[in-house]
């Protein structure tokens, strides 16, 4: 039964080549449009999440229980090195680093602005964040000289403060004892990530230099950041770390920056919603075509029902034709999308000319569309569903026909 029905459906489709081709093309173009747009969106989000994690958030952070609420320098992690040694033993951990953090003011001769000062241990920091990769050659170094009081600032901040390499920047803040203190730092490097907001706020100095100015107790820090081999293992590793250091507050990336997780999830939904809306519109086009088909074939359908084709088989016959229309167009659309995603996924689409606004939101200036196997499966399922649903209405129309009337001359 199936084969002959498929054969009938297939041949029926080509009775009106132009009309069928137009419908199929519409499906192809619609799906490609939707998939390309979804792929670009998803690519941007994946890129943003990756950059945020690699430059900024890392995968797990540990703080004093009250540090996050107050951000005050006296909420310390004591015995940092002991904790780090312990965490390093976990096989999923790629890198661990500790930081001293303090809010302060950065000022040059002409300008001043509020900033977050990150005291880092460069060798350890390199294992966790990619900031050291974000310096262009002409813009200095990442703590190569071991001279005292060197600072790394962003391009954005440099502009704001009118600073260059070797410029002097005065940093002022409250120390561990609550006294106002400060120091003079020399710009050693200028970095630039994709996140303009992050860049504007963060400067990096050696932890030893900052600790001295803050009068920090020995072997203490404000933040321990952990990078994992696989960011999806964060919940698992977190559940191992938490009980080991119950006195501190350990948190995974999706709780540190919920919007990252939210944006990812939203993007997955967007694909589904996007494609559903497009297929709904295409579904109407298909229904319309099939209604025309039914009208044209009134006598033929009447005859088939007269000789004994039952309702369900009539439905199947119409459904096959409808679904093939959707599937052939859909398959083409998916094929084009696969090629598009593959090609531009490798080559990238440069949007730097229009990307100014995006960058301050943490998106990159090169878009690389990303679509996964599961996305295509989702779309294929949707196409099938569209085909089946779109055949219901034409079938109802066909079954309303009375064969005796249909075949009367």
- 397 counts as binding another protein under rule CB under 8 A: no
- 12 counts as binding another protein under rule CB under 8 A: yes
- 309 counts as binding another protein under rule CB under 8 A: yes
- Which listed range, 135-143, 145-153, 306-314, 362-370, lies at the site for another protein (CB under 8 A)? 306-314
Cβ 21 to another protein shortest distance, Å: 17
Cβ 318 to another protein shortest distance, Å: 14
Which member of 18, 180, 218, 307 binds another protein (CB under 8 A)? Answer: 307
Cβ 41 to another protein shortest distance, Å: 43
| Nearest alpha-carbon partner for 119 in 206, 32, 24 | 206
Q: Cβ distance 293 to 325 under 8 Å?
A: no
| Nearest alpha-carbon partner for 327 in 401, 390, 254 | 390
Q: Which is nearer to another protein, 16 or 167 (CB)?
A: 16
Structure token digits, residue 46: 């994946």
The torsion defined by the Cα of 264, 265, 268 and 272, in degrees rounded to 10, comes to -150
- 303 counts as binding another protein under rule CB under 8 A: yes
- 148 counts as binding another protein under rule CB under 8 A: no
- 164 counts as binding another protein under rule CB under 8 A: no
Cβ 390 to another protein shortest distance, Å: 21
Which member of 11, 111, 147, 148 binds another protein (CB under 8 A)? Answer: 11
Cβ 28 to another protein shortest distance, Å: 24
Cβ 305 to another protein shortest distance, Å: 7
* Window 14 to 43, contacts with another protein (CB under 8 A): 15
- Which listed range, 11-19, 157-165, 254-262, 333-341, lies at the site for another protein (CB under 8 A)? 11-19
* Window 273 to 302, contacts with another protein (CB under 8 A): 299-300, 302
If binding means CB under 8 A, how many residues of this protein chain bind another protein?
25
- 311 counts as binding another protein under rule CB under 8 A: yes
- Which listed range, 4-12, 129-137, 165-173, 273-281, lies at the site for another protein (CB under 8 A)? 4-12
Q: Cβ distance 172 to 107 under 8 Å?
A: yes
Which member of 295, 306, 339, 381 binds another protein (CB under 8 A)? Answer: 306
For another protein, the binding residues (CB under 8 A) are 1, 4, 7-8, 11-12, 15, 299-300, 302-311, 313, 403-404, 407-409
């Amino acid at each position: 039964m199936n084969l002959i029905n498929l054969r009938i459906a297939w041949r029926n489709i080509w009775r009106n080549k132009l009309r069928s081709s137009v419908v199929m093309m519409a499906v192809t173009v619609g799906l490609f449009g939707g998939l390309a747009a979804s792929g670009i969106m998803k690519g941007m989000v994946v890129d943003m999440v990756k950059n945020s994690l690699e430059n900024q958030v890392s995968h797990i952070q540990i703080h004093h229980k009250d540090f996050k609420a107050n951000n005050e320098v006296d909420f310390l992690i004591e015995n940092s090195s002991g904790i780090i040694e312990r965490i390093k033993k976990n096989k999923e951990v790629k890198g661990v680093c500790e930081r001293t953090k303090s809010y302060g003011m950065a000022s040059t001769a002409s300008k001043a602005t509020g900033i977050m000062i990150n005291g880092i241990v460069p060798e350890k920091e390199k294992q966790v964040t990619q900031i050291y990769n974000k310096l262009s050659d002409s813009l200095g170094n990442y703590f190569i000289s071991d001279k005292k009081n060197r600072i790394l600032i962003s391009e954005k901040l440099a502009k704001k403060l009118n600073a260059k390499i070797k410029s002097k920047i005065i940093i002022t803040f409250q120390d561990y004892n609550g006294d106002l203190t400060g120091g003079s730092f020399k710009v050693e490097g200028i970095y630039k990530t994709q996140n303009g907001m992050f860049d504007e706020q963060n400067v990096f100095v050696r932890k030893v230099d900052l600790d001295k100015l803050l009068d920090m107790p020995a072997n203490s820090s404000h933040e321990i950041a952990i990078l994992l081999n696989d960011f999806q293992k964060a919940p698992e590793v977190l559940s191992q770390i938490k009980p080991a250091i119950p006195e501190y507050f350990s948190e995974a990336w999706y709780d540190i920056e919920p919007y990252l997780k939210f944006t990812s999830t939203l993007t997955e939904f967007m694909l589904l919603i996007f494609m559903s809306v497009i297929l709904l519109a295409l579904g109407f086009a298909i229904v319309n075509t099939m209604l025309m088909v039914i009208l044209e074939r009134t006598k033929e359908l009447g005859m088939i029902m007269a000789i004994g084709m039952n309702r369900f088989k009539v439905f199947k016959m119409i459904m096959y034709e409808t679904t093939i229309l959707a599937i052939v167009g859909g398959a083409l659309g998916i094929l084009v999308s696969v090629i598009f995603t593959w090609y531009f996924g490798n080559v990238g689409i440069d949007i730097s000319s229009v990307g100014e606004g995006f960058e301050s939101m943490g998106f990159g200036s090169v878009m690389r569309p990303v679509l996964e196997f599961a996305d295509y499966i989702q779309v294929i399922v949707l196409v099938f569903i569209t085909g089946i649903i779109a055949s219901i209405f034409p079938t109802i129309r066909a079954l309303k026909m009375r064969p005796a009337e249909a075949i009367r001359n």
